Amino acid sequence: MAVNLPPPDPAQLHPVRGVELGVAMAGIRKPDRKDLLVVRLAPGAAVAGVFTQNRFCAAPVTLAKKHLKNPVRALIVNTGNANAGTGKEGLKRAFSVCRALGKAIDAKPSQILPFSTGVIMEQLPAEKLIAALPALRDADWLEAAEAIMTTDTVPKAFSRRVRLSGGEAVVTGIAKGAGMIRPDMATLLAFIATDAKVLPAILHRMVKATAAASFNCITVDGDTSTNDCFVLIATGKGPAVSSRKDLLQLERAVLEITQLLAQALVRDGEGATKFVTVRIERGRSAAECRRVAYAVAHSPLVKTAFFASDPNLGRILAAIGNAGVKLETERVDLYLDGVCVVRKGGRDPSYLESEAVTAMKKPEFTVRAVLNRGKAAATVWTCDLSFDYVKINAEYRT
């Protein structure tokens, strides 16, 4: 069950001018479920993306990165099969899907961006995807979010309206992910569209900056998938970004959507029962603070203690000390929510374990470490590691 993550309200998900959505049931892995999404774009739309750093990147990632150099007319996303670890045959199958969709919408195969998610090292049933294309039906953003889910328990979608000097623009985004989530861009599949008119160079900078402050600040299990991507689309069918104020307004909205989606992934982490904010303060650099935060957020020992609501402070201190940062440990303070548990590297004299237990029993709480060696700070979001995480992943292919 997702932690404080209600299903999206379809009335709050605004259509984006210049984007047409279609979903179908291709029967890739499970019968009678939406598992194919096509996002058709108006001519002239600007598209930017960032992709997984996993060296075993999937065939669709390889093609999408290559096709992104061309004017993009559509995205096609399937769930149930990752088409990763499939060699040259996987590339052929992914391209055949691009070719079929291109023919259907009068576009070149190189103008189609393919995306896949699901089981790794199984060949993509391209014939099922191609056969399902004529059955595509018009969809809204909620149905689009549902069509890309794998082990997700809740679809993830958010939307905002933005007032620009030339009128009102819309930003709407969807994402999927619950496992194999780790900061290393992109840790998921995420697609965000706006009808604002944005120069491609600005869009490329925006996708990297917002990813760094959102999708690269989360971890569920420390594993980076082979298929991860984050794509940002600007159709240009709405008001133009014509001033620095407009740009800041749009960037603020895109960042808000990406952070909401990123946090939704963690809240829906496989088997998660706790949503935990890890904040590191007063480090010498943001990079140093992130390194310490990730050490805490990745640790299986820490995460299982979160699940048990067990303030096993030694596990947290050990993770901080193992981050590879030359800390002056006698300066480190540690808090669970507002409870000071460590002062100057040792147990706070006023610390009561009952107060820490109360904090950790909440579905959401914060672990805050103060390094007292600089002015920088960083925040990452994580979850606990439960019995259900093992069960879900042990039974994933069955």
Q: Which residues are known to be catalytic?
A: 187
The DSSP line for 150-173 is: SS-SS-EEEEEEEEETTEEEEEEE
If you search the block for the tokens 């700070």, which residue do you land on? 377
Q: What is the C-alpha separation between 166 and 243, in angstroms, rounded? A: 10
For the chain, the straight-line distance linking the first and the last C-alpha, in angstroms and rounded, comes to 20
| Residue 105 near residue 99 (C-beta atoms within 8 A) | no
**In angstroms, rounded to a whole number, what is the distance separating the alpha carbons of residues 86 and 114?**
15
E strands of 221-338, at which residues?
229-234, 275-283, 333-336
One-letter amino acid at 20 equals E
CB count, 10 Å around CB of 358?
16
Burial environment of residue 161 by CB neighbours within 10 A (0 to 12, 13 to 18, 19 or more):
exposed
Distances (CA, A) of 3 to 171, 274, 302, 362: 25, 6, 18, 11
Cα–Cα distance, 286 to 277 (Å, whole number): 16
Q: Which of 61, 128, 120, 130 is nearest to 100 (CA)?
A: 130
Q: Is 193 helix (H, G, I), strand (E, B) or coil?
A: strand
Tokens linked to 104: 């259907």
Q: Which residues contact 225 (CB under 8 A, 6 or more apart)?
A: 52, 54, 82, 117, 180, 181, 187, 188
Count the neighbouring beta carbons within 10 Å of the beta carbon of residue 5: 20
